[in-house]
Structure 1
Amino acid sequence: MEGEIAAKFLRTVLAQPRVKRLVSSDHFSVDGTLIEAWASIKSFRRKDGGDNDPDSADRNAERGFHKEKRSNDTHESTSDPQARLYKKGDGQSAKLCYMGHALMENRHGLVVDGGVTQATGKAEREAALAMLERRPSRRRITLAADKAYDVGQFVKDLRQRKVTPHITIDGHLSKNGKPRVTAIDGRTKRHPGYAASQCCRKRIEEVFGWIKPSAGTAKVKLRGCARVGAAFTLNLAAYNLVRLPKLLAVPA
C-alpha cells in the first residue's frame, strides 16, 4: 500500500504500446459506487460511549435502533471507524460503506484511474477532480457523468481545468414544482459530442457490474480506506486485463 502498487499496476497495463493505442486521450466518463464495509450496523456506536452495553458480555448482543438518531458526526463503527453510514438514494437503506470511483476512457471502456474514499454527498465530485488532476496531459477533454454531478461549482471546476462537462441534466422538481436549475447550458447540449458521451458513459456500469460480483467487491473483507482502496484499484486493473485479449485480437 505504501508503494501504491495497485495504482502503478493499473497505469503500467495501460502504458503498454499495444494497449495505449486503444485508449482515448480526449473523451472520458466518471462514476462512483457504494462498497459495503466489513462491519455490522450494530457496531455503529456513539463516539462518547453513551450507548455501550456494560451489562452484556456478548459482543454480538441484540440492539434496537428504533427512534434512535444516528449520524456520522456522533457515531462511528467500532469495527471499522473509517466506514460511513450512507445511502445513495431515497428509499434505500443506509449502510456502513465506502465509495469507489472509476474514470473510464470512452473509446473501448477501459478504466484509466480509480480509487476509494469515505462515502459522503460530495465524494463523487471530489474524487473526479482528483483523478483529473492526476492526468499527465492538460489538453482539453470531455467528461461524461450522471446527474449526481450536475452541480454548479463542479461544472465550474471542470471548465477551469479545460474539461467540457458532458453531464446528464438533473431534472428533479423542487418542492414548489419547478425544475431544478441545471449547470449544463444549451451550447453543450446541442453539440453532437454530448449525445455520444451520454451513450458511452453508461458502459462504466459494466465495470462495477463485473468487479462487484466477480471480484468480490460488493462487500469487501478488508477494513480501512487504504486497504479497501488498494483492493478496489487492483480489481479495476483486473477488469481491464479480462477485456484486453478480445480487444487486442481485433485488427486495427
Structure 2
Amino acid sequence: MRGSDGMQEALFTVAKLEDFVPGDHPLRAIRNLVNEALAGLHGLFNSVYADSGRASVAPEKLLRAMLIQVLFSVRSERQLMEQIRYNLLYRWFIGLAIDDAVWDHSVFSKNRDRLLEHAVVEQFFTEVMRLADKRKLLSKEHFSVDGTLIQAWASHKSFVTKDGSEPPDKGAGSGGRNNLADWKGKPRSNDTHRSTTDPDARLFRKGKSQAAILAYQGHVLMENRSGLVVSAVVTHADGYGERAAALAMLDTLPRGGPKTLGADKGYDMRDFVAGCRQRGVTPHVASNLAHQGGSAIDGRTTRHESYRVSQTMRKRIEEHFGWGKTIGHIRQTVYRGIRRVDQHFKLTMTASNIVRMARILCGVPPGAMP
C-alpha cells in the first residue's frame, strides 16, 4: 500500500533537543570541553556586565555561537542567525531551546564587540590551555613556531596615497562601479600608501615569485607533545613580523628549564637566534645556507637527534593553518582592523585546539571530527 504524502502535525509535541543529537556525535565531546572552559570565566563575565538593567545575550551562548560559526564555516553573522533558527544541532550546542527566539544579527554583532573590548576571547583561549595542562597534554620543553599570511578584506583599488595627492584612477574606457585600474609605472609602498577600506592592512608578498596582497600575518607557537597552540597573535605584515612575534610569544612561556624551538628557514637570522639563546631557548631553526653570510645555526646544534625531531614536529603547525583556512575562513578574513582580525584568528586557533583535544581524549580517528 502506498503511503500518503500528506503531513499531519500533532496538536501537542513533547520533545527535547537532547533527543535529536546522537550519543556519539563529535560535538558532544567538544561541548563538554567548551562548557568546562566557560565555567572558569564566570568571574570575568560578572565583571564585564552590570548587576542591573536589561538582560543582554548570555556571554556563554555568545561564545558557543561564535565557535559554531568557526566549526561549520558559516560565513557571516546574518547567515549564522538564519541557520540557528532551523538547525537543532546548533541550538543544542549553543543552549537555545526549540522555541527560544534567535537574536537579530546586529544584536549578535554588538554583543560580540563587547567581548572584544574586554579581551574575553584571549581569556577563553587561556582557559582552554589550562584544561589541556590539567589533562597532561602540554609539553613544557619543546615548541615550534611559524606564521602565515591572512588576506585582508580590502582590494588593491583601496590602496591610495596617504596625502591624497594621487587622483583616483578611473581606468581606460571602463564604466560602472568597478572601474579598471592601471598602476603601471606608479610605485606603491606602505610608506606612501594606505588602504581606505582597512588602514591596518599592509601590502606584502611572501616570496619573490608571489603577488603582493593586502594582508596581515598570523603567528602561532605550538607545543610538540600534542600539537596544541599555546600562543597566537596577529601583526602587521612585514619582513620582521614573524621573528618579532616569535620572541614575544616566547616571553609568555614560564621561565626555567631547558627549552627548544623548531622553526623554518625564515627564522635563520642571527638576531633571532641570539634572542632565543638570551631567553634560554635552544633554536632548532632550519639552516638557510643560501642566506648572505651563511646560516646562524652550526653543527653544535644540528648534530643532535633532538634537532631532527624538532624539524619533523614543527610541520604540524601547518595542520592548524590548513584547518583554519579551509574551515575557519582565515585564508581571507571578513573583519577589518587588526584587533578584530586578531580576535578572529585567536578564536579559530582555540577551536582548532578544542577539536584536537576532543580527538585525543576520546580516541576518535582524525577523519571523524568536524
Q: TM-score, normalization: structure 2?
A: 0.63
Alpha-carbon RMSD across the aligned residues, in angstroms, is 1.9
When you count helix as a share of all residues, which structure comes out higher?
2
Q: CA deviation at 1:127?
A: 0.3
Change in 2 beyond 3 A, CA 1:18/1:53: closer
Which of 169, 183, 200 is equivalent to 1:82? 200
Aligned match of 2:318: 205
When you count strand as a share of all residues, which structure comes out higher?
1
Say how many residue pairs are matched: 245
* 2:132–2:357 Cα contact (<8 Å) kept: no
Q: CA deviation at 1:246?
A: 1.7
Change in 2 beyond 3 A, CA 1:17/1:91: closer
* 2:219–2:234 Cα contact (<8 Å) kept: yes
Aligned match of 1:24: 139
Aligned match of 1:177: none
Which of 231, 243, 246 is equivalent to 2:359? 246
Q: CA deviation at 1:85?
A: 0.2
* 1:101–1:114 Cα contact (<8 Å) kept: yes
Change in 2 beyond 3 A, CA 1:87/1:55: closer
* 1:19–1:248 Cα contact (<8 Å) kept: no
Which of 200, 205, 229 is equivalent to 1:111? 229
Structure 2: which 5+ runs fail to align? 1-115, 364-370
Q: CA deviation at 1:68?
A: 1.2
Deviations 1:116-154 (A, max 9, x none): 000000000000011111123343210000000000011
- Partners of 1:60 and 1:173 in 2: how far apart? 43
Which of 27, 42, 51 is equivalent to 2:166? 51
Q: CA deviation at 1:48?
A: 1.3
Q: Who wins on radius of gyration, i.e. which is larger?
A: 2
| Structure 2 counterpart SS, 1:212 | helix
Aligned match of 2:27: none
- Which residue identity lines up with residue 10 of structure 1 in the other structure? F
* 1:18–1:248 Cα contact (<8 Å) kept: no
* 2:170–2:180 Cα contact (<8 Å) kept: no
Deviations 1:89-136 (A, max 9, x none): 110000000000000001111111101000000000000011111123
| 1:37 to 2:37 alignment | no
* 1:210–1:239 Cα contact (<8 Å) kept: yes
The range that moved more, 162-171 or 138-147, is 138-147
Q: Of the two structures, which has the highest relative contact order with CA contacts closer than 8 Å and spacing of 6 or more?
A: 1
Q: TM-score, normalization: structure 1?
A: 0.92
Q: CA deviation at 1:51?
A: 1.8
Sequence identity percentage:
48
